[in-house]
Chain A
């Protein structure tokens, strides 16, 4: 990989390390335990958590945040349990994704999940038929979420604005 000095943002690692869960990013000494134990890396040619952590330490902000690869972590947390430096790798990946969203990158599936929650309180739109069938199956009816509160939480956490943005 060729790296140009001009694409390095030396502040990036500090930005990441201020995010809860990603504090220990600079402790990564590139042993590769995360990648060796990662179930996704086993079947992916491109997902390598060790490499993403090094790129972050180096300050390759744009390359990392625009990469599709950061969205492949399944959050199984095997790497978190195995890291000898106690780096929460899966949480660093989550921090990188959150930052990618700030830059306008968000896979469509997350837009759908977010708009479902904003519309119904649930991450999936439960079909009317299914809701009606609950009675026949002997199940109590599903409680309705408090949409006023859910909408408010989207607003006060600043996420509503991010959803409006075109990417």
Chain B
């Protein structure tokens, strides 16, 4: 049974529990064992803009915790995954930086050794579980549903640190969506950023970016959008009413976490997948299934 230390990060317990709830349900069906990660801290990404050194130290501490348990990490947040993967790779390959960071870690009684790997949920599904096994768990194919996917930048870019899928033409999330029986529609500027990371500095630009995406998704007739990032999800779900108000438009496009979609296809009760926690009402898509 594949087993991972479950790195929750900050955004999910803060606001997006539905992502965690649905992931745990789906993981159970897929035979993925998620081990709670004791005393982890912020991955470091939110503080990279103000101190790269502090980001490295915070990320490295998390990596050392996993090394201590001799287990690979799984995250749900692409920001956490991207950061931990990049720092893991850098510390493994760059002796100078490793020595600097180990100097900080020594003060907290730790040392980076480079013995574990970090994966995002999507990587676990595509690389460790495999499309075939996922397909076997589908009991109620969602063949009446057409959706659009949104990857989230840090699960794909930059190529030289992440090395997963093709950021110019990503297909893995599309394939994962289609395993559920739903149709995954193409739309304009599919790989574009949602804008969320700068919302604390400037909220106008992210709202425009998210509005563009929602418009393109609406144009192709998608009934829902599928995300794999808690930050992107906040932009499209929590902020959707705000976007509608700011631009005087109506979208009404529910944004589901991928494990919610997969869970529906597995025949799990929508209630157990926390569909009611979504800001944009998803009951109309559940009723067509």
Contacts and interface: CB of A to CB of B under 8 A. Distances in A.
Co-assembled chains A and B: yes
Interface in A101-160: 101, 106-107, 109-110, 112-114, 117, 121-124, 126, 130-131, 133-134, 137-140, 142-146, 148-150, 152-159
B39 A146 contact: yes
Interface residues of B, number: 60
A150 to B, nearest CB: 5
A36 B183 CA distance: 32
B52 A134 contact: no
B39 A152 contact: no
B144 to A, nearest CB: 29
What is the size category of the interface that chain A forms with chain B? 35 or more
A142 B58 contact: no
B221 interface: no
Interface stretch (A2-10, A59-67, A91-99): A91-99
A152 B60 CA distance: 14
Contacts of A148: 108
Contacts, number: 185
Given A43-B209, A71-B49, A124-B11, A156 B201 contact: no
A142 B8 contact: yes
A97 B52 CA distance: 10
Given A88-B158, A140-B36, A44 B205 contact: yes
Given A72-B198, A94-B48, A137 B17 contact: yes
A72 B208 CA distance: 14
Given A97-B50, A153-B57, A72 B157 contact: no
B70 interface: no
Given A75-B197, A124-B11, A114 B50 contact: yes
B159 A81 contact: yes
Contacts of B168: 81
B41 A98 contact: no
Interface of chain A, helix or strand or loop or mixed?
helix
Interface string B45-88: 01111111110011001000000000000000000000000000
B192 interface: yes
Contact of A72 (B24, B38, B202): B202
A19 interface: yes
A41 B161 CA distance: 24
Given A71-B198, A81-B157, A81-B159, A98 B52 contact: yes
A166 B7 CA distance: 34
A125 to B, nearest CB: 8
B37 interface: yes
Contacts of B39: 121, 143-146, 149
Given A97-B49, A138-B21, A143-B36, A150 B209 contact: no
A93 to B, nearest CB: 8
Contacts of A133: 17
A80 B37 CA distance: 32
B40 interface: yes
Contacts of B196: 74
A144 B13 CA distance: 12
A164 to B, nearest CB: 14
Contacts of A112: 200
A122 B14 contact: yes
A139 B24 contact: yes
Contact of B201 (A72, A80, A143, A153): A72
B195 interface: yes
Contacts of B219: none
Given A74-B195, A110-B49, 18 more contacts: A20-B52, A40-B209, A74-B197, A75-B49, A77-B154, A94-B48, A94-B52, A101-B50, A110-B200, A112-B200, A113-B46, A123-B11, A123-B42, A124-B11, A137-B17, A145-B39, A145-B41, A153-B61
